[in-house]
Amino acid sequence: AQSVTQPDIHITVSEGASLELRCNYSYGATPYLFWYVQSPGQGLQLLLKYFSGDTLVQGIKGFEAEFKRSQSSFNLRKPSVHWSDAAEYFCAVAPLGSGNTGKLIFGQGTTLQVKP
Amino acid sequence: DTGVSQDPRHKITKRGQNVTFRCDPISEHNRLYWYRQTLGQGPEFLTYFQNEAQLEKSRLLSDRFSAERPKGSFSTLEIQRTEQGDSAMYLCASSPVVGLETQYFGPGTRLLVL
């Protein structure tokens, strides 16, 4: 079955430290891959996406993600975390195939806490 | 471009009552999606419209749920005879053109069934 796994439910990092959020997917072919961020009371905001091409993609707010086909992973990184990055982060895939609708399958999310 | 809007933002209802939520997508987006998000979980796909046609429904969408998108603009999601298990955040998203373009999400409607 298609699935997205975010192994870390909760991560705490110090402000200024680097960050890596993990995402693994289970799917027969390489799907389209996304990272979204959700702040309290806010809707989901797209950070970045991967469709094809360069496996290192840049997003907004200084985030980047690397697609690794061999590991079925799409990990999100940021070199220096800011207190405003505290939020919930979701990895999502859009399965490909005939009749696909573009619906997203989300992981369960990783809550990021930033220590001052 | 004002983004995706949803109304109401919060709804408290008693078990057994009917509720209706509205979603206004970004203008000219022909794809519209509904998702449900329970506490501590990622959003789960409920249903999808392309223009006014409802093209896919998740098995999560029981007979008590119905969604419409008349004229291919705004959409409504109705839940009849609400149950406590329906308590969740209901998210709407829209995307432009045909293809796997980015989905833009609204702020959601938080439903609490007492």
Query: What band does A101 get if pLDDT is binned at 50, 70 and 90?
Result: confident
> Mutate which of A104, A108, A110 to test chain B, going by most B C-beta atoms within 10 A?
A104
Q: Distance (Å, rounded) from C-alpha B91 to C-alpha A38?
A: 12
What is the rounded average pLDDT of the residues B58-83?
93
Which chain B residue's Cα is nearest to A50?
Answer: B102
pLDDT at position B98 is: 60
Mean pLDDT for all residues in chain A: 91
pLDDT digits (tens, 9 = 90+) for A28-68: 777 889 999 999 878 899 999 998 888 999 999 999 999 99
* Whether pLDDT at B49 is above 80: yes
Q: Count of residues for chain B?
A: 114
d(CA B64, CA B42): 22
Q: Scanning every residue of chain B, which has its alpha carbon at the shortest distance from the alpha carbon of A92?
A: B42
- Would you state the pLDDT for residue A96? 72
User: CB distance A104–B43 less than 8 Å?
Assistant: yes
Query: What is the secondary structure of B30-75 as a DSSP string?
Result: -EEEEEEE-TTS--EEEEEEETTEEEEE-TTS-TTEEEE-GGGS-E
A22, pLDDT greater than 60: yes
Between residues A95 and B14, the one the model is more confident about: B14
Alpha-carbon distance A47 to nearest alpha carbon in chain B (angstroms): 11
Question: Is the CB of B56 inside 8 Å of chain A's CB atoms?
Answer: yes
Q: Which helix (H) or strand (E) holds B83?
A: none
Residue closest to A4 by CA, chosen among B42, B64, B62, B19? B42
Would you call A69 helix, strand, or coil by DSSP? helix
The shortest C-alpha distance from A88 to chain B (Å) reads 10
Tell me whether A42 touches chain B (CB under 8 Å): yes
- Interatomic CA distance for residues A52 and B72, integer angstroms: 31
Q: Nearest Cβ partner of A90 from B42, B56, B107? A: B42
Whether residue B1 has pLDDT greater than 60: no
pLDDT of residue B91: 97
Q: Which of B16, B83, B91, B81 is nearest to B46 (CA)?
A: B91
User: Residue B99: is its pLDDT beyond 60?
Assistant: no
User: Is residue B98 classed as helix, strand or coil in its secondary structure?
Assistant: coil
Please state the rounded mean pLDDT for residues A73-96: 94
Strands B44-50 and B53-57: antiparallel
